Structures are given as C-alpha cells and as structure tokens.
Structure 1
C-alpha cells in the first residue's frame, strides 16, 4: 500500500483540524459552547505551529533518502498524534501496523520523535491562543513505548532495501572479522596470548557487563569504607559532609543505565569525591592537633589513644577516594562516554595482536564488532569506498552506519569498528584528508564506537595532531609486554 502523502501544508492542516475537534470533544462542550468556540482561529494557529515545527525539525534532521518523512504522510501523522498527544489513544498495535502498511515512509527514531513533539509541545504551551491545549510530558512515555517496534520495522525495511545487499547479523559480522584476523597471518598467534591490563579499556569502549561490574566494584569499595567511619564528636561537621557526599555518589550511580549508554557524569562524581578528600584532610588535622595536645598533657602515649581507630579509618577511606577518582579519570571511563580511540605503539609491539584478541573475545561474548585492516586499503579512493569493496557490499556510508546503529540498539550492545594499522596500505596518503568526515559520520550514531591503531613513527604523517584534537580522539599508547617481560618469556617457552 502506498502512503497517502500530502504537501506538508495539507497534512498539517488536516491534523490541526483533527486535533482541535478532539480537544473540543474531550472537554465535553455542549452544543451552544461548541458554536461559540473559536475553532477556526485555533486550527489556523495550530496549523502554523505544526508548519514551523516541521521546518525546524527538517533543519536538524534533513531527509536525504527517497522515503517520505513521517510528518508528510497524513494517515501516519494522524495516528501518531492520536497516540502521542491525546488521553484516549489507539492501541500500540494500530500505530505499529500503520508504519508496516506504508513502507515508503521513513520510520523515525525515538530521538527524532521526542525532538519533533518537544518542539511542537513547547510552541503550543507557549502560545497565548492555544494555551488551553496544554500538552503534558507524558508524550515521552508513549514514544518510548513504541520505540522497540519502530526499530524492528526499520530493520526490516532496511533489509529489503535494494541499496543493501547483505543481511546484517552476528554471523555476517563474525565471518568478516575472522577473514580479517586470518589475513593478519603471523601477527596474531592466539596460543601466545597473554591478557594485558590494556584490555580493560575495551570493556569501557563497549559498555560491556564487565565494565558495569568494574564500575560497581569501585563504587562499592568507596561506599564500604565511607560507611565504616566511626562517630566522632570532634569532627562531626566533617563527617556530615562525608555522609552527604556518599548520598550524592549513590544517587549519581543509581541514575546510570549502563545498557542504555547513559553518560557517566564524571565531573559530578569527582566533585563529591573532592568534598570527601577535603573533609578527611580537615578531620585529620583536627584529630592530630587534639592528639598532640593530649600527649603534651600526659593523657596519651605514642602507641594508643582514642583517635587511633578513626584516624586509621580516615586513611583507608582517603585511599578509596583516590582510587575511585583515578578510575573515573581513567581512559577506560573516558572511552565509555566518548568511544573513539586512537591506539599508537612502536612497530612489533603487538597492536594487531591486541585488537584481534579483543575482537575474538567480543565474538565469544556475543558483542558485535567489525574488524578492518589498513593493509588492505591500498587505493586512492575514499575510505568508505575501499571498505565497502573489501566487505563486498553495495551501499552508502549513511545507510551502512544507520543499519549498524539500529542493530546495536536492538541488541543493547554498542558495535565497535576496529581499523588496524591505518598507516599501512595507502593510508599515509588518504587518511589525513578524510579522517574528519569519516569520524564525524560515525559520531552521528550513538551506538557505534571506533578504534584505529597507528604505528607511532607514522602517526603525524597519517593523521595530524590538529585533526586528532579536532575530532576529539582519546589517545593511548600500547607498550606491549613492558613490566611483565618474565611472564611473556615463560609463556613463549611453554608453547
């Protein structure tokens, strides 16, 4: 069935009229009040606001596909408004079926729906003429309620789109990854694998369950030590500050939904931790002064006094404060919020082995990834053209990335794109001219992350420091087996 599409003005006017009619009906106006109600003035003003909303929305979300935006399809726009804006709305199934009936209409994402109706609701609620039509924020709950079904529909439509000649699933991704790993040859020898500390940063990148547990362990250790502090009248005000900060930390932690990529508020965490550090320092200063005064008065000795226990507890808590602060400022947590990593290291240090091992681990844990090799990007063509040739798919970067993003969102697992050794192949010639647009395209999609590795001696040739800074890469150096040489040697001879 083809969509009944109108020029945006036609759809807007139809919906404005329907909206006002339903408002009058819900208000229970009698015949006389209906006759006196300035319906046409309401309809005209609402029509104008819907037009303004659509125009503003198109600036933020321009349509570059051949499909029709949802607000230009009268049947879809009509049922969406009934479901999202009115107290009595159709079943969710009816809304979803409407999208299934009209495959030529581009289904919106949850973010797009929320943005469209946020603009419209604000305009209506601020309008003197339409303030009686006040829209409550419950519309967000209704949008969230249908989001999962819209994702499924969008994936189905993408699968049958002629532009995409492959069916995205774990099997397809894993097959491409294993082909790339095989092409590494001797650079990856899994039997000589030694788990390194650096592997933890990829848990943050992927927002994995391991990262969630690691985060919890740091918060838990901090709270345990904080709650163990004994009551001490001499430092009651400082202990009150610590208690307040512990509550703030708990509130911040409980607000994080690790599976939904909620941003971790590191600045707020660190502010509360700093309050604890200051309170500990003040407490120790007060207690040491009292201790010295007691000694001078002959009331205590060097080995035992009434402040020893609380001073020890304060010292232990201060250690946990510093430990949590260090973790929150670590590359692991930074990458959980900004999943874009440039990994550098000297030749032969094990960058390719590390990335291949991380990809293999993610395959085993059901975490989707895409592994690409810089050595295979050998032409002067743009990165995406070369990548799609290697993957043997006929698509565009926007369609490809959107499909990856939808798949990641559907599975509640961030997809990581790995590109190993970007200085190899023809990378020194094309990456610096293309890196900004390449990364910015990926950054448009919340559920995608990017890891690129580069040999240190070629870093400034392949990507300039200016571009690294501009695209806000997190950078990290891989040092291989440094500091664990003995373990590495033993592993080598054992195999």
Structure 2
C-alpha cells in the first residue's frame, strides 16, 4: 500500500513532491498525436493548473494537486480558488483534474450524522464550477477527481516502479544525494580532476545540449528571438523604382512566420522529442527566402546609377537582410551541430588519449549540471568488475536490490521533476574490468536506457582501447566526440591564465606552449612542479615528453 503521508519531501516539502507526482502521472496520460504537455512552473502552478495538455484541436486538459491527507481536512475554498483561476485563465479547458492523496468518503459512510461525505462536497462544488464555466463561455468542461485510490492504481503497475522508487523509495534521490555521490567519485579520480584548474572547452556544449539544460534553451530562444524581431522594410521596398515579385515577398513572410513558431517547443518536457528535423526544414526555407531577397536587392542595385536617390533606402534594405541572415546563422549553428544529434539520441561517446582531460570533463560537467539544479551521476570504469552490470551500478549507488527499471525510472522521474534530463556519465570504460566486458555490455545498456526519455548518457574511453571496448553497432549509430586537450587559441589562452598566471609563472615565448602542454595533465604537472620548486619561468629546453616527465619526477623526489 502506498502511504502518501510518507512521500519523499526533497527540498520543496511533501506538498511540492505530491504536486510533482501528479504532474508526472498527468504526463503519462495518452492523448492524440500532435498533443503536447506543459508543466507550469511556480508554487501552486499558474492560472489554477500545475500542468496541462494541449490537444490538436486547441482544447486543454488541466491538472491541479491538493495535498490533503484526510477527506475531512480538505479546504474546498482553496480548490474553488484554483478552479476559478483556471476557468478565467484557460478558456480552452475541456477537462479539469483535481488530484488528492486521500479518498473521498462514500455517500453512505458519512463521518458523523448530518455531515457531508467527501463525494457530496465534490458534487456540490462541481455544480458551482460548471455554472462559473458557463458564465465564462465554456459550454463543456468536465471536472474529474483523482483521489487516493485512483492515483494508487496508476502507481502500482510495473511501468510505474521508477516513480514509486523516486517518490516513495527509502533512498531519497535529492540534490544532496546526487552531490554526495559526485563528491565520492571526484575524490576517486584523484589527479585527474582539479576543479580549481578548470578551463572551459567547447566540448562542454555536448553536456548542456544532451541534457536539454536551461542554458541551451535560453540560447535557442535568444537566437530565434533575434530572427523573430526582424520585419520586412515594406515602406522602403515600396519606395523603390522596382519591387520584388509579390510571390517572393509572400514566401519570405510565410517562412519567417513558420520559423517563429518553433520557439514554443523549446520548453516541452524532456520526454517529448524536439522536432529538430522540422526546425532544420523551416530554417532551410527562411534561408532560401532570405537569399532570394538579397539576390534581388543586389540585382536591382546594379541596375541603378551611383547617384540614384533610392540608393540609401536600398542600402538599408541590404544591411537589414545581412543582419537577419547573421541571426539565422546563430540558430543554424545550434541545431545543425553534432551535439544536437546527440540530444536526439540521448547517448554519446567520448574518446581521447591519456591526459587530455576526459575524466576532468565528465566530472566538471556533472558538477555544472548539479549546480544548475539538474540530476547528474558519474560512474567510474575503474570501479567495475566482471559481475552483472546493473547489480554493480545498484551497489555503487547505494540502491542494492533495485532493478534496472527502478533505477532508470527513478532517474527519469528526477529529470522530469527538474524539466531536464538526468545525466549519467561513465568515465574510462577501458579501466577496471576492461574493454572486453564493456564490448559485451554497452549495447544492452544503451538499449535499456532508450526506454527512459528523461535520462541521457555520455561514456568515455581511451582512444587506444576504443575499438575493442565499443562494438561497431554502437560506434556506427551514435555520435563520437574526440577530446584533444586545449584545441583552440581561446582555450590555450585560458589555460595560460589558469595554469600559469595564477601560479606566478611567466608564459613561454612564441609558440607559447610546446605541443605536449596542450595536454592538460602534462601542463598541470609541470606547473605544479615549477611552483613546488619556487620557479617563475620554464627551464630552458624543457620540451618533449621524456624531458617533461623527468623534470616532474625529479621535482617529486625533491618534495
């Protein structure tokens, strides 16, 4: 039996947890294709609903949670207030569901003589709500109660065991739990992870993208907003001695309007797929329309005399079109990237040589995710042996006895509760039990993962072992990203500031770093050695792997 009085409180308390549970149950409801679900953020939801589905017809189904553990304690006035807000704010409602963690007493089982049962209260208030809906022009609005028995029925199925584990399990998967586990993993990485020496690298974008982070959504929204604010200079075009074909202008307007519609999809819940192919199709259309308009501008420009009065207006039209094209490029860079392919697949592979920063990258991106309020786990390849994979994962997480479905289902619920995907990173699968084990286990692992839309995974492996650890079927299907250390000039300059400047070490003359120092582990090791020896510049001739290692070992010996 599920006891709603013992629902895990997490950081927001039991009331907030019950609201989230109801929203995740609502999210699992089946509606026609083309329907989309939206979670309303903020205490008590917004406009009388915690969440709602919008159907292809434009109608809505709204959900409201009220955490009263006994029918006699229900504050019906509080429910009235939410219903009236919903009717006023969402005139498209055709169904309104109220979830309660208690059963409404039967009409024949009144608590005391002369008192009303919970269902009698419900029927009376429902009559008032229906009248209010009619007064607001809503002719058909169904009010439905989800009492304890109804919610329990939705939770007892095998497909809901992850929800049960997350909301009612003995181990509360709270932000503190995730942070404690990451702290343990970070300590085990030892010299491979030093957050104080972190340098931002472009591959961090993979993690913010695959998890559908708020940072990514903000970037997408900002890029589309730049394009949305553009308007055709109708008056300037009309003032020209010739005008573009009407069909050309109409094609541009239509493509522009279709691009603007994309923005409403960015906030969809993580279990609803982004239609990236559709976005690219719409982007292609507006890019072609913009190019056609620019081509007409330039063709018309060449037909004019240098001193033609309309040249200024035409120049402004050309400049506006170029700025608009530039804004489209920002959006294009985001959605046409291999990172977005990884977002669609929810799984990616990272490979690189020793010391290039794979472990540091996974640990730092996990820490960044937790800091942003996203669930994140870091599993270390060095901790795995040849036992059953999921038994080991459960044991490492302190969830012994849980099934893969319970673990992934709980992580899925954790991600949905934050509006993002839970990140599972597995570092260095070439270590521990080694490549052969993962070659046999990684494909089933990824297959199981695919059933949970609010969970994503990034796996790293040393380049030399990649082909023996990752079977062709996995390598050919998913995106592979190579880590090469500090690749760009921006990353190298940032590394100089963090590794050298803060230790008071002068930067070497051009080239500022030897090839070996593009490797973060080499660079840090030498900087630590120089600092330990009290030196403020690189010794002459310190180039080549052998000399660097020799200097480092000698420095260690002088400690």
Task: Confirm or deny a common fold (TM above 0.5).
Answer: yes
Could you tell me whether the CA contact under 8 Å between 1:375 and 1:425 is conserved in 2? yes
1:461-486 CA-to-partner distances (Å, cap 9, x unmatched) read 110233223xx423222232112223
Secondary structure, in 3 states, of the residue corresponding to 2:452?
Answer: coil
Distance in 2 between residues matched to 1:287 and 1:91, nearest whole Å: 58
Distance in 2 between residues matched to 1:222 and 1:148, nearest whole Å: 47
Matched, 1:293 2:314: no
Q: What's the offset of the Cα at 1:491? A: 1.3
Distance in 1 between residues matched to 2:172 and 2:493, nearest whole Å: 46
| Alpha-carbon distance change, 294 to 343 in structure 1, aligned in 2, over 3 angstroms | same
Q: How many residues are paired up?
A: 364
Residue 430 (structure 1) aligned to one of 431, 437, 451: 437
- 1:299-314 equivalences under 5 Å are 300=308, 304=311, 306-314=313-321
| Alpha-carbon distance change, 478 to 222 in structure 1, aligned in 2, over 3 angstroms | farther
Higher relative contact order (Cα pairs below 8 Å, separated by 6+ residues): 1
| Alpha-carbon distance change, 191 to 237 in structure 1, aligned in 2, over 3 angstroms | same
Q: What's the offset of the Cα at 1:173? A: 2.2
Matched, 1:388 2:357: no
* Structure 2 counterpart of 1:270: 280
Q: What's the offset of the Cα at 1:407? A: 3.0
Could you tell me whether the CA contact under 8 Å between 1:417 and 1:450 is conserved in 2? yes
Matched, 1:321 2:331: no
Matched, 1:376 2:402: no
Q: What's the offset of the Cα at 1:151? A: 6.5
Runs of at least 4 residues of structure 1 off by over 6 A?
A: 87-91, 94-98, 137-143, 146-149, 151-156
| Alpha-carbon distance change, 175 to 149 in structure 1, aligned in 2, over 3 angstroms | farther
* Structure 2 counterpart of 1:398: 405
- 1:164-313 equivalences under 5 Å are 166-225=171-230, 231-233=236-238, 234-235=243-244, 236-295=246-305, 300=308, 304=311, 306-313=313-320
* Structure 1 counterpart of 2:40: none
| Alpha-carbon distance change, 441 to 155 in structure 1, aligned in 2, over 3 angstroms | closer
TM normalised by structure 1 equals 0.65
Residue 340 (structure 2) aligned to one of 291, 316, 333: 333
Please report the RMSD computed on the Cα atoms of aligned residues, expressed in angstroms.
3.7
Q: Which moved more, 1:418-427 or 1:183-192?
A: 418-427
Q: What's the offset of the Cα at 1:454? A: 1.3
Distance in 2 between residues matched to 1:189 and 1:355, nearest whole Å: 12
Distance in 1 between residues matched to 2:234 and 2:352, nearest whole Å: 44
Distance in 1 between residues matched to 2:152 and 2:205, nearest whole Å: 31
| Alpha-carbon distance change, 140 to 314 in structure 1, aligned in 2, over 3 angstroms | farther
Q: What's the offset of the Cα at 1:414? A: 1.9
1:196-250 CA-to-partner distances (Å, cap 9, x unmatched) read 2322221222222211111111111222345567652412432322221121122
Q: Which moved more, 1:458-467 or 1:180-189?
A: 458-467
| Alpha-carbon distance change, 244 to 458 in structure 1, aligned in 2, over 3 angstroms | same
TM normalised by structure 2 equals 0.58
- 1:358-377 equivalences under 5 Å are 358-377=365-384
Could you tell me whether the CA contact under 8 Å between 1:96 and 1:149 is conserved in 2? no
Secondary structure, in 3 states, of the residue corresponding to 1:451?
Answer: strand
Q: Which moved more, 1:246-255 or 1:88-97?
A: 88-97
Distance in 2 between residues matched to 1:415 and 1:96, nearest whole Å: 33
Distance in 2 between residues matched to 1:204 and 1:226, nearest whole Å: 30
Distance in 2 between residues matched to 1:420 and 1:315, nearest whole Å: 44
Could you tell me whether the CA contact under 8 Å between 2:161 and 2:405 is conserved in 1? no
1:40-65 CA-to-partner distances (Å, cap 9, x unmatched) read xxxxxxxxxxxxxxxxxxxxxxxxxx
* Structure 2 counterpart of 1:357: 364
Could you tell me whether the CA contact under 8 Å between 1:189 and 1:353 is conserved in 2? yes
1:137-166 CA-to-partner distances (Å, cap 9, x unmatched) read 9999989xx8899579967853799xx763
| Alpha-carbon distance change, 147 to 289 in structure 1, aligned in 2, over 3 angstroms | farther
Distance in 1 between residues matched to 2:173 and 2:358, nearest whole Å: 28
Could you tell me whether the CA contact under 8 Å between 1:343 and 1:478 is conserved in 2? yes
Could you tell me whether the CA contact under 8 Å between 1:431 and 1:462 is conserved in 2? yes
Distance in 2 between residues matched to 1:307 and 1:89, nearest whole Å: 55
Distance in 1 between residues matched to 2:280 and 2:470, nearest whole Å: 33
1:431-473 CA-to-partner distances (Å, cap 9, x unmatched) read 111111111111111111111111222211110233223xx42
Q: What's the offset of the Cα at 1:174? A: 1.9
Secondary structure, in 3 states, of the residue corresponding to 2:303?
Answer: helix
Distance in 1 between residues matched to 2:457 and 2:219, nearest whole Å: 22
Q: What's the offset of the Cα at 1:92? A: 4.3
Secondary structure, in 3 states, of the residue corresponding to 1:257?
Answer: coil
Residue 442 (structure 1) aligned to one of 435, 445, 449: 449
Unmatched runs of 5 consecutive residues or more in structure 1: 3-86, 99-136
Could you tell me whether the CA contact under 8 Å between 1:350 and 1:480 is conserved in 2? yes
Could you tell me whether the CA contact under 8 Å between 1:225 and 1:316 is conserved in 2? no
| Alpha-carbon distance change, 310 to 148 in structure 1, aligned in 2, over 3 angstroms | farther
- 1:142-181 equivalences under 5 Å are 157-158=164-165, 166-181=171-186
